[in-house]
Amino acid sequence: MMFCPKCGGLLIPKSDKGKKRMACSKCKYVDKESKTETKFRESIEHGASVEVVDTNQTLETLPKVEAECPKCKHDKAYFWTVQTRAADEPETKFYKCEKCGHTWRDYS
């Protein structure tokens, strides 16, 4: 990324008389040097991976809380959290029943 030397705004590629130049998105500053050797990437990469926690091996280290299992109604469960959505949204809390091993999630 390149920034404007005058106002600090983001410089974006602009075509000027067949030459690519960098122009400020705020104050309209245009870099006088041709940026023909600069490669502009216009693709957006998508895809996020979610790490799966193997709770069968790590149950001993997970915290235990009071939470009612929807399957067997036992009142203790292990829990862990994972950021499954955007960073500005709350994380997802997963529970695993101490007694029957049923796993469920809480989005709140």
Retrieve residue 102's tokens: 């049923």
Question: Is 88 an active-site residue?
Answer: yes
CA distances from 11 to 14, 29, 42 (A): 9, 9, 14
Length of the chain equals 108
Share of the chain residues as helix, strand and coil, in percent rounded to the nearest 5: 5, 30, 60
- From the list 16, 68, 89, 91, the catalytic residue is 89
- From the list 37, 42, 45, 88, the catalytic residue is 88
Main-chain phi, psi angles of 50, to 5 degrees: -115, 130
Question: Is 75 an active-site residue?
Answer: no
Retrieve residue 48's tokens: 């996020």
Mind telling me the catalytic residues?
88-89
